[in-house]
Amino acid sequence: MKPIWAEAAQVGDVGEYGQFTAGTSQNLADARVLSYPATKILKTSDGEKNIVYMPVQQCQVWESLGLNPNASELEIASALKAIAHVLRFCALSDGQGEIYFLCSEERTQKFAAKNGFEKVEIPLYRMRVR
């Protein structure tokens, strides 16, 4: 097998990327991701043919909240709203188009559902690099 290398896709690759995306079964492609300034598209090639295109977006992932056990549900919601305003501003400033909120605690799930987050029903995989 020839070595396969990854590099940044070029403007001329857009048509082939679209063909590959359309031909991939169970593809979760979201065209909006391509409009985010922080998104980059990688392509892999063996030197003769392109093999995989992968849009990679930079985004925020919120997790591991520390909630005061004596705080009311309203206080927690207000605090999360304040955090959301600041981090939304940061995301827009950094060219990010999406924010992910990993939450299993019932009160934070209620906040997410009522404040613009949509529940994603696809498997999530994580790779720790540190």
The CB-based long-range contact list for 48-54 (8 Å cut-off, 24+ gap) reads 48/2, 50/13, 50/16, 50/20, 51/4, 52/20, 53/9, 53/13, 53/16, 53/17, 53/20, 53/21
Looking at the predicted structure, is the pLDDT value of residue 89 above 90? yes
107-117 tens-digit pLDDT: 899 999 999 99
How high is the mean pLDDT of the chain?
A: 94
**What pLDDT, on the 0 to 100 scale, is given for residue 107?**
87
